[in-house]
Amino acid sequence: MKKKYNVAVVGATGAVGTKMIEMLEETSLPMNQVKLLASKRSAGKEVTFKGQTLVVEELVPESFTGIDIALFSAGGNISKQYAPEAVKRGAVVVDNTSHFRMDPEVPLVVPEVNPEALKRHKGIIANPNCSTIQMMVALEPIRQAYGLDRLIVSTYQAVSGAGINAMEELKTQALAYINGTPADKLEANILPSGGDKKHYPIAFNALPQIDVFAEADYTYEEWKMINETKKIMEDDSIKVVATCVRIPVLSGHSESIYIEVKEEGSDVSKIKDLIAKAPGAILQDDPSQQIYPQALASIDRKETFVGRIRQDIDIDKGYHMWVVSDNLLKGAAWNSVQIAETLHEMDLVRV
């Protein structure tokens, strides 16, 4: 086991990359050097890390020489092109994009749920989709106790999941609208999806499209939640369906989840007990005191918050819940750094 690692952050100036740097400031991972990489546009930019000034460098294949762990969050195309370059130079890659997630050779890991999958890594580990991660943290203890027959999820997702520019777009549109610009005159260039033809305002709106449309009129975001759940839980028989919605919240994804368990014997208090004891989860569920998870309160927290747990009115084995987490932390930066910590603890920082 190596004593101290050289760590690179790819996309260090982005919404997730910035949070990765914050998580590295707090990590227990023994580190020697931290290298910050972004596009040519950001080269020379200074970032304070643990009281020291680090200078952002332009990403090139040679950036990875001497790097042990590379955290990627600069978009799928950058991961496609540069993750193999990093591995070739001996680095283990933790990739936050969707590019490698469904590759059977690449483990897709939520450390509280399937750390053992890390043993199969061949240099690249994928960080799941933000919405999938928080759902897995909440549901894995229930799956272990009672099995999961089906789940139906509707998401209420924050704009930071679409990057810094999307956050700016929300703020600009909100100000313009408050100052009298009519809704049909608000400028929109990014959401619902940078890769699609039309753009709509997100301020004071709800957009039932995240990423572009794909098979059977589900969006890619919805397919990610469906496919990634089955891969992480290693169970293709779980019936999963998702509706993903972008709302005008800066950070903190919320999810309304309906589940049906397989086995007999569950009830609301047992489900609450499982969540209360679940690693990485916090039960916030007291309707008499109006206690339930909220997006604003989840910001800068690493945990996943679960509440509004209710039995379905008609289905004995059906339960509803509200699950909230900071999409930039547990949904991205923290889960990636936590994977790096787990790799270190399992002595798997090697290609």
What are the backbone angles phi and psi of residue 201, rounded to the nearest 5°?
-65, 145
Nearer to ligand A2P, 78 or 249 (CB): 78
Dihedral angle sign, alpha carbons of residues 117, 345, 26, 5: negative
198-to-58, 123, 188, 211 alpha-carbon distances in Å: 32, 38, 9, 12
CB nearer to ligand A2P: pick between 14 and 293: 14
**190: nearest Cα among 220, 171, 167:** 167
* Alpha carbon distance 64, 6 (integer Å): 10
Answer for which of 20, 29, 31, 38 binds ligand A2P (CB under 6 A) is 38
Nearest residue to ligand A2P, scored by beta-carbon proximity: 14
Residue closer to ligand A2P by CB (options 164, 241) is 164
Least distance (Å) from ligand A2P to the CB of residue 3?
29
List % helix, strand, coil for the chain (3-state, nearest 5): 35, 25, 40
Q: What is the length of the chain?
A: 351
Separation of alpha carbons 54 and 340, rounded Å: 21
Q: Which of 36, 67, 74, 259 binds ligand A2P (CB under 6 A)?
A: 74
Residue 162 DSSP label:
G
With binding defined as CB under 6 A, does residue 165 bind ligand A2P? yes
Is 42 annotated in a binding site? The answer is yes
Contacts of 56 (CB under 8 A, 6+ apart): 12, 13, 36, 37, 38, 42, 43, 44, 45, 46, 47
Close Cβ partners of 347 (under 8 Å, ≥ 6 residues apart)? 1
Does the annotation flag 289 for ligand binding?
no
Q: Contact letters (x/-) for ligand A2P, 2-21, by CB under 6 A?
A: ---------xxxxx-x----
* Stretch binding ligand A2P (CB under 6 A), from 129-137, 149-157, 159-167, 317-325: 159-167
246 is annotated as contributing to ligand binding: yes
Task: Please tell me whether 310 is known to bind a ligand.
Answer: no
Choose between 40 and 122: whose C-beta lies nearer to ligand A2P: 40
The yes or no reply on residue 97 touching ligand A2P (CB under 6 A) is no
Q: Which CB, 17 or 293, lies closer to ligand A2P? A: 17
Q: 13 labelled as ligand-binding?
A: yes
Q: Which two structure tokens, joined as six digits, stand for 136?
A: 């897995």
- Token pair of 124, please? 């690249």
Active-site amino acid positions: 130, 253
Q: Using CB under 6 A, which of 78, 92, 261, 337 touches ligand A2P?
A: 78
The answer to whether the annotation marks 157 as part of a ligand binding site is yes
Binding site, annotated residues: 13-16, 41-42, 101, 157, 160-161, 246, 327
Q: Which residues bind ligand A2P (CB under 6 A)?
A: 11-15, 17, 38-39, 41-42, 59, 74-75, 78, 163-165
Binding site for NADP(+): which residues?
13-16, 41-42, 160-161, 327
